[in-house]
Chain A
Amino acid sequence: MGALVLPLAITVGLIVLGYVIGTARERSHLADLDRREGAAASVTVIDVKQLPPGMQAGGGCLVSGEVVIAADYFKAVMAGFRNLIGGEVKTYQTMLSRARREARLRMIEQAQQLGSDLVVNVRFEWSDVGPKSASAEIFCYGTAITRA
């Protein structure tokens, strides 16, 4: 019985640590995303290859953004429980949507540096290259169009 107390205390401690710090970090990241998306609103991002009708393009340049994101311990444990009963894994849903928004923003910021306000043929890629535990790489790329 006594041998179980310490591992249990560590697990609970990690869940609390993950929840407290992870939630605070998520909140500040979401606030940061909202602020930067406001600044990036002037750039049009589309996933078709054609230019808008009547637009005279002067050139194009590949732009991209990527991010590797990890779940906190609390999110991972909640996802573990969710696996038992099924349904939407909300904790991972918010994590991946944050990562996509971040990657998309980094791509837009690159386009802005080139003086472009249009990115066409945008593609998102996901890959599982991080450490063994729950983490994901999101890569977003497209062609930034400069006007003639």
Chain B
Amino acid sequence: MIIVNTETVPGKEITAFHGLVQGNTIRAKHIGRDIGAALKNLVGGELQAYTELLTEARQEAMDRMVAQAEGHGANAIVNVRFTTSSVAGGAAELYAYGTAVTVA
């Protein structure tokens, strides 16, 4: 599966559109990570536990999007966008969407 955020796949031609595909996930942090983050807030710097959590979550959202595209028989997803939103007390929603296409 080719995934790009441009409108076409560079060097290839789109032969069919299969419509919008999307994937989302909502992740909550566990208390240990929150305590670590609170300590980090005193001295500043990267909150690695959060970075990892979000990277995993974004991957999960993308995997769901890819699964949908595969269901449509597509071999690429173009014009992919991401959004993140903060829902209900410390949980984060990661959302990925794009257009499933066939390229040749």
A interface residues (Cβ-Cβ under 8 A, vs B):
14, 17-18, 21-22, 25-26, 29, 49, 51, 56-62, 64, 66-73, 75-76, 95, 102, 120-121, 123, 125, 127-131, 133-135, 137, 139, 141-143, 145, 148
B interface residues (Cβ-Cβ under 8 A, vs A):
2-7, 9-12, 34, 37-38, 40-47, 50-51, 54-55, 58, 80, 82-86, 90, 92
Contact A60 to B45, CB < 8 A, known contacts A125-B84, A129-B50, A139-B82: no
Contact check, B47 vs A70: say whether CB atoms are below 8 A apart.
yes
Q: What DSSP secondary structure best describes chain B's contact surface?
A: mixed
B37 neighbours in A (Cβ, 8 Å):
70, 130-131, 135
Q: Whole-angstrom distance between the alpha carbons of A145 and B6 in the complex?
A: 10
Contact check, B45 vs A29: say whether CB atoms are below 8 A apart.
yes
Q: Whole-angstrom distance between the alpha carbons of A87 and B6 in the complex?
A: 38
Contact A143 to B44, CB < 8 A, known contacts A56-B11, A66-B54, A148-B11: no
Q: Most B CB atoms within 10 A — which of A130, A139, A141, A145?
A: A130
A141 in complex: contacting residue of B44, B45, B82, CB < 8 Å = B82
A58 in complex: contacting residue of B11, B55, B80, CB < 8 Å = B11
Contact A25 to B45, CB < 8 A, known contacts A57-B10, A127-B84: yes
Contact check, A62 vs B80: say whether CB atoms are below 8 A apart.
yes
Q: Whole-angstrom distance between the alpha carbons of A60 and B98 in the complex?
A: 15
A25 neighbours in B (Cβ, 8 Å):
43-45
**B50: nearest chain-A partner, CB-CB:** A68
